[in-house]
Amino acid sequence: MLDSKKLRKDTEETILNLNRRGFHFDLNKWEKLESQRKELQSFNENQQSKLNNLSKQIGQAKKEKEDTEGLQKDATKLTTEIKELTKKLDKLLDEINDFVMSVPNLIDEDVPDGKDETENLEIRKYSSPRKFNFTPKDHLELGDNKGIDMEAGAKITGSRFKVLKKEIAQLQRALLNFMLDTHVGDHGYEEVYVPYIVNQDSLLGTGQLPKFEEDLFKLDGKNPFYLTSTAEVPVTNLLRDEILESNNLPVKYVCHTPCFRSEAGSYGKDTKGIMRLHQFEKVELVQAVESSDSEEALEELTGHAEAILKKLELPYRVVSLCSGDIGFSSAKTYDLEVWIPSQETYREISSCSNFRDFQARRMKARWKNNKDNSTELLNTINGSGLALSRTVLAVLENFQEEDGSVTVPDSLRSYLGKDKILSF
RNA sequence: GGAGAGGUGGCUGAGUGGUUGAAAGCGCUCCCCUGCUAAGGGAGUAUAGGGUAAACCCCUAUCGAGGGUUCGAAUCCCUCCCUCUCCGCCA
């Protein structure tokens, strides 16, 4: 959510910024709603003030055993009027809230302009794709009958669900532990375990609601619960309605959860294998910092996600998402894209974003600045470190041998207890 | 699932219809004081919105959430959510 004060003050600048991401800000509607609100609210508050005074007078008069009938009559009239005004005002405020909640975050100045993902800006590349002296198989061919069982997933649930078995299930578990240990041990994150089912307030807080409900799985019970689409939701919402002491900053959480996504709108995309599923595992990094530190925190957090790829010796590149491709809540996003031999292209394996105070404002996540005794909004940053399914995929494909076996990257061998898998 | 007790500021906790946005304590900020420390004294210290672009100041709302009663609700009534204790069931 944007600061509505800033929206009122720097309207032109805000609109220009929003235009960069292709968002049309309905200025007419905004100004109309705002002027209506101002008028109605001032008047209503005025009437309320009058009523409060009257009530005090009545209280005073009763104490002194004076007649209050006339005063009470006036007060009743005012009360009725205020009830109606308040109803109108609430309706208007709802409308304004809906409007403001559907406005995306402002983007940072250094976010490249562009209309879609084809115009994302490559920032740097690490390592270079391996040259195979045979035709590399894709992960499904490698895993077929050896641990990736898409048919079983379809039987148990439906399309876009996987079953992993044997060495590939172990590989996923090894990667998971390797990632968590690295972030906790080397990068100083606190590991948290959280619910996988979240409520509406949490989803509103991080920005998945109200705009993106179709991407979520909603449960059917009496409470409006959803399966979490990313650990970002439960983890960032740990800070909701909190006021942190400055000596507790920065907050650095790492968390593994399954992620559930309906993948509405991706029909026909990545239909084969484990690239795009309704359920996948992910390790998520979340930081909360003072606003002056968030740019640096994004660089740091991106580096932490990159460290995993480096240790796994996977070729990747970092791209800065352009203004047309960047997410709704994000001010700036780096995607890490890993090399996928079977597709001869880089594919997203992590997305690291600085939300500045956009999420914090929605969820009232604040910190106490003892220097001037003020309470300020936190800045939140998060990124995948990394998406497990795609890491499994990338390791299988990048480290495959001609005979269909897969060499285990050095850093993973102690976790897996093997140098080589799928060699049968 | 049954029975009971609760939910008040950054925290602890008082408050059962009338200047209570809320006592007291802790914490925090600033100042004073004792050479430093320990301790003590004083002042300040919720959030959101509006009057206003800002300051002072003023107004409004907020005591788990939503509704109701009333001139007036932290306080009374209803619904829901959550926490705790006991019992039952259970990985």
For the segment A218-228, what is each residue's pLDDT rounded down to a tens digit?
988 777 889 99
Cβ atoms of A385 and A350 within 8 Å: the answer is yes
pLDDT digits over A88-113, tens only?
Answer: 888 888 888 888 888 999 999 999 99
Distance in angstroms between the alpha carbons of the first and the last residue of chain A: 54
Q: Which helix (H) or strand (E) holds A60?
A: helix A27-63
Which residue has tokens 């900053």?
A249
CB burial readout A146-169, b (16+ within 10 A) else e? bbbbbeebeeeeeebbbbbeebbe
pLDDT, position A95: 87
Q: What is residue A421's three-state secondary structure? A: strand
Q: What is the pTM of this model?
A: 0.92
pLDDT, position A145: 86
Q: Which of A259, A400, A318 is nearest to A124 (CA)?
A: A318
Which DSSP state fits A189?
P
Give this complex's ipTM. Answer: 0.86
pLDDT digits over A247-295, tens only?
Answer: 888 999 999 999 999 987 788 889 899 999 999 999 999 999 998 899 9
Confidence of residue A329 (pLDDT cuts 50, 70, 90): very high
Token code pair at residue A290: 């003072």
pLDDT, position A310: 98
Nucleotide nearest to A80 (CA to C1'): B71
Token code pair at residue A276: 């795009």
What backbone phi and psi angles, to 5 degrees, belong to A190?
Answer: -95, 125
Distances (CA, A) of A319 to A123, A276, A325, A334: 5, 20, 11, 6
Give the residues across from A383 on adjacent strands: A285, A352
Q: What is the mean pLDDT of residues A99-128?
A: 94
What backbone phi and psi angles, to 5 degrees, belong to A126?
Answer: -120, 125
pLDDT, position A335: 98
Strand B bases, protein C-beta under 7 A:
10, 18-19, 28-29, 44-51, 53-54, 59-61, 67, 71-72, 81-82
pLDDT digits over A359-416, tens only?
Answer: 999 888 888 887 777 788 999 999 999 999 999 999 999 999 999 999 999 999 999 9
Q: Which protein residues have a C-beta closer than 7 A to any atom of strand B?
A: A 4-5, 8-9, 38, 41-42, 45-46, 48-49, 51-56, 58-59, 62-63, 72, 75-76, 78-79, 90, 222-223, 243, 364, 368, 370-371, 373-375
Number of neighbours of residue A400 by Cβ within 10 angstroms = 24
